[in-house]
Amino acid sequence: MSFNTYFYGVNPLISLKMKQYALYLYSAFVFSTLVLYGNLSINSLSNSQDKTQVNDQDNLNKSGMKFFVHHSKMNSKYSEIGSGVFRNKFIVVSSKKIGGLGNGVDERTNQPYTELFCMDLDGYGTLSNPLLYSRIINTKNNEGLIAFTPDQQTMYFTRAMRETSNNYQLYKTRLQTNSAGNWIDQEKLAISSPNYSIESPHVSADGKTLYFASNMGGTVGGFDIYSAEILSDGTLGQPHNLGPNVNTAQNEKYPYTSPDGESLYFSSEGHNSIGGYDVFVSAIKESYLGTPRHLGTDINSTSNDISFKFIQEDKGFISSDREGSIGSFDIFRFKSQIVYQDIKGLIVDNTNAPIPNANIFLMDGEDNIIERQITGSDSGYKFKIQAYGDYKLKVMKFGFEPLVFDINATESNGGLITENLELVSNGATSVTDN
């Protein structure tokens, strides 16, 4: 019987101190059992497994960020795939059986059927104390990835029956009011079908959209990424295929959108991946998705790299079966660092004479103004931008035609872009010119 089953199911009147002490003992038991029976490698606890991996010459990285990747210390000989965060607990899908339910081996993976586990998550992104997540959601079947609404009152989860262990169906459940984890009103959503699988759900930060992967009819390739509006009752609108800019003739899975809603991260076997699934990012525009950009060889390997997600502004997790993994998929934590570069130059006329008092606007790809400057007597300007970002400069000055300049913000220029912008006279004169 698991810790959660006994102390929160059978004996709810036990004192808080006894629960806390029992949790300590049970966690120690889990840890020692993992080590004793080979589920947790002692090598994974050594400093040699936690070295920062950074490639300063990563020419594939077009994300505008550098990544520092570490092997998590909480991996086992089985598969671990990160799913999301619920009340400072990192939820993981794993086939390990410490405290798990049921028995048997999935013939498709040759591992036990998967269940949901949770781990403590601290401010440094370190994981500890793995426990079975929920005796309500976990069953004897294959549990897949889950997603929470921003208020964490609704969960979308996926499950595959043992007899069809690679065909996942999509479910919804809600958290009972004032409950620590009592999920009620479970229902299979109408979008589910025995004829196709729905996998890796993700809810956008504004709670309005559910993203998922599916091999339903009409896909560009095998698995495509879809989006669906979340209706007021929690059900889904008509699914929308994200189209050929994201989906390829190969497989795309594991969508994740940034908290600001401006970026879609996903894993793909296409887009010239360097091996298996690689992680890419596309800019989310008002009416389209930008061309996918590779996250480089610090995040991606020649194996499969999946389930990329931020859990803090600059920290997150990714799962991979790359060389050095203990299990079939291990969890790796990463820290990101934005790569900035400068764009500078002069505003001049057709004789190369400087133009003072010109208004110059730095804008994003959808013409939103980020910053404004007015040129001085030297007519110079300078802005800081993120590498590979989508930017424009717009220059306005009475007597000249407005100028819009698209910025090619690549790192290949050593972090500095120099552009002198020439304005064309429109013949207009002011009263003071007469």
Does 139 have pLDDT greater than 50? yes
Contacts of the segment 162-169: beta carbons below 8 A, 24+ positions apart: 162/104, 162/106, 162/113, 164/194, 165/106, 165/107, 165/108, 165/109, 165/113, 165/141, 166/108, 166/197, 167/194, 167/196, 167/197, 168/142, 168/144, 168/197, 168/198, 168/199, 169/193, 169/197, 169/198
User: Distance between CA atoms of 418 and 227, rounded to whole angstroms?
Assistant: 40
38-338 matches 340-433 in fold: no
164 half-sphere exposure, CB direction, 13 A CA radius: 11
Backbone angles phi, psi at 36, to 5 degrees: -60, -40
Torsion angles phi and psi, residue 268, rounded to 5: -145, 145
Neighbours of 266 (CB within 10 A): 28
> What percent of the chain is predicted at pLDDT more than 90?
70
**Is 340-433 CATH 2.60.40.1120?**
yes
**16's tokens:** 């808080």
The domain 38-338 is classified under which CATH number: 2.60.120, 2.115.10, 1.10.357, 3.40.50? 2.115.10
Structure-token match 């793995």, residue found? 130
Nearest to 156 by CA among 115, 198, 216: 198
C-alpha pair distances (Å), 178 with each of 175, 181, 182, 203? 8, 9, 9, 22
> Which residue(s) pair with 305 in the sheet?
320
Q: 284 CB contacts (<8 Å, ≥6 apart)?
A: 257, 261, 262, 263, 264, 290
Q: Provide the pLDDT for residue 142.
A: 95
pLDDT at 126: 84
> pTM of this prediction?
0.83
Whole-angstrom distance, CA of residue 219 vs CA of residue 222: 7
pLDDT of 255-307, one tens digit each?
999 999 999 999 999 999 999 999 999 999 888 999 999 999 999 999 999 99
Q: Are 221 and 252 in contact (CB under 8 A)?
A: yes
- Give the tens place of pLDDT for each residue, 373-422: 999 999 999 999 999 999 999 999 999 999 999 998 876 556 789 999 99
The pLDDT value recorded for residue 98 is 58
Do the Cβ atoms of 159 and 144 come closer than 8 Å? Answer: yes
Chain CA centroid to CA 238, Å: 23
Domain extent listing, the chain = 38-338, 340-433
Label each residue of 51-75 as H, E or C: CCECCCCCCCCCCCEEEEEEECCCC
Provide the residue type at 182 as one letter.
N
What residue type is 13 in one-letter code? L
How high does pLDDT run on average in the chain? 86
